């Protein structure tokens, strides 16, 4: 099984290209939770993700013949960029198979880091099958995203940094996709400080590790569907599962809505941009998915910051909705002068700000002399939302809150 010495051996190789990322105390989230919260800002890592650590350790430990033959991997984003940069820095040729749907920003970034990108397949599984085909045909070494002890050891260097920078650590909270990150971090911490708790976090709709730990064997999900695309994996690794069983104390799950709220809080209050997978550890903490004591020293690992701009817009909007900062309503008005003015008057009295108004006189659900109105509103929180809805309904409006 992966050992502390493996992680320590990886450190010098990893430090040749990866940054030592900050560990920062957060007044905001400490006040919010009652714990002493320190954020491990791995979203500031080169390539925007921890993946460069494991990729660098794996590639630089290849034999001379393997390095001359080159490497191949499959990824939709973070691992692709990590392998491309690590290979280029080591003077190794890399071929990266990415699904045809992969965001163009991630494709271009992988190419800029020196990877030869092959677009193939509708999803990761099809891209991975193509990568293994290239592995066989060209004699390249396949660099697995997580189920590889060298990769796991490279990721574990984060745990060494956390332990050194936070000597009073009680709990570390780590995202789980395939399990490479948490396996490395848990090994680095538990072998030095066995009393420190390691909590893993998955998205509810991609909970292969949680299901596997519960049933005692690796479980394969039929599908995954989450905004945390960086941890949207249908199964964890066989090697990582062994480490998780041995060294991870608990695995919890968070919803996409909770992830969106955590991401929004980080952006608004800490001025820190993360991707969905980078927000799950904090989401588990602020939504109390695991028990903790007042003043407990907790480190959530923010594992990545590579978020597509279109996705960011959607996620932030969802976060604003969940925190009562944005409201969409639908109601019906008589189609006559003054009807809209009266509705807007109530909204103005409640001091809500209107973003947009949409009329629809063609809906078959309303009378011929009526109009359906949808309004987008900027709000100040859940109490403000409740107050506005109560005022509208008190004036006779039938109001539907839209998702």
Closest-CA residue to 182 (of 9, 307, 299, 84): 299
Q: Are 243 and 198 in contact (CB under 8 A)?
A: no
**How far apart are alpha carbons 261 and 241 in whole angstroms?**
29
Q: Are 251 and 199 in contact (CB under 8 A)?
A: yes
pTM attached to this predicted model: 0.89
Q: Kindly list the distances between the CA atom of residue 195 and the CA atoms of 129, 186, 281, 288, in Å, as whole numbers in the listed order.
A: 41, 11, 20, 21
Residue by residue, pLDDT tens for the chain (403 residues) are: 999 999 999 999 999 999 999 999 999 999 999 999 999 999 999 999 999 999 999 999 999 999 999 999 999 789 999 999 999 999 999 999 998 988 788 899 999 999 999 999 987 778 889 999 999 999 999 999 999 999 999 999 999 999 999 999 999 999 999 999 999 999 999 999 999 999 999 999 999 999 999 999 999 999 888 989 889 888 999 999 999 999 999 999 999 999 999 999 999 999 999 999 999 999 999 999 999 999 999 999 999 999 888 888 888 888 999 999 999 999 999 888 889 999 999 999 999 999 999 988 877 777 878 899 999 999 999 999 999 999 999 999 999 999 7
């Amino acid at each position: 099984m992966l050992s502390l010495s493996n992680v320590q051996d990886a450190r010098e190789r990893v430090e040749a290209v990866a940054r030592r990322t900050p560990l920062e105390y957060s007044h905001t989230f400490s006040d919010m939770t009652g714990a002493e919260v320190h954020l491990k800002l791995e979203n500031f890592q080169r390539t925007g993700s921890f993946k460069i650590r494991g990729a660098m350790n794996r590639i630089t430990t290849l034999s001379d013949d393997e390095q001359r033959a080159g490497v191949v991997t499959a990824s939709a984003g973070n691992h692709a960029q990590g392998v491309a940069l690590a290979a280029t820095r080591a003077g190794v040729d890399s071929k990266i198979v990415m699904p045809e749907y992969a965001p163009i920003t991630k494709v271009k970034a992988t190419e800029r880091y020196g990877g030869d990108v092959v677009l193939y397949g509708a999803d990761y599984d099809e891209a991975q099958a193509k990568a293994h085909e290239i592995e066989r045909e060209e004699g390249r070494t396949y660099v697995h995203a997580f189920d590889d002890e060298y990769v796991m050891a490279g990721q574990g260097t984060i745990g060494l940094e956390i332990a050194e920078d936070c000597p009073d650590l009680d709990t570390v909270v780590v995202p789980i996709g395939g399990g490479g990150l948490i396996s490395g971090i848990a090994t680095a911490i538990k072998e030095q400080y066995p009393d420190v708790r390691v909590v893993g976090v998955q998205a509810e709709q991609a909970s292969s590790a949680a299901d596997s730990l519960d049933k005692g064997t690796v479980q394969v999900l039929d599908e995954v569907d989450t905004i945390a695309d960086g941890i949207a994996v249908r199964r964890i690794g066989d090697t990582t599962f062994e480490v998780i069983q041995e060294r991870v104390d608990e695995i919890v799950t968070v919803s996409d809505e909770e992830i969106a709220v955590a991401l929004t809080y980080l952006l608004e209050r800490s001025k820190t941009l993360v991707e969905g997978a980078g927000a799950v550890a904090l989401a588990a903490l602020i939504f109390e998915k695991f028990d903790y004591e007042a003043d407990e020293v907790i480190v959530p690992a923010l594992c990545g910051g590579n978020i597509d701009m279109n996705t960011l817009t959607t996620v932030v909007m969802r976060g604003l909705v969940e925190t009562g900062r944005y409201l969409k309503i639908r109601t019906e008005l008589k189609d006559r002068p003054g009807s809209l003015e009266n509705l807007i008057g109530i909204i103005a009295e409640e001091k809500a700000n209107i973003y947009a108004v949409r009329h629809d006189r063609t809906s078959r659900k309303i009378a011929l002399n009526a109009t359906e109105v949808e309004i987008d509103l900027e709000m100040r929180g859940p109490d403000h939302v409740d107050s506005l809805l109560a005022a509208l309904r008190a004036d006779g409006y039938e109001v539907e809150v839209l998702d």
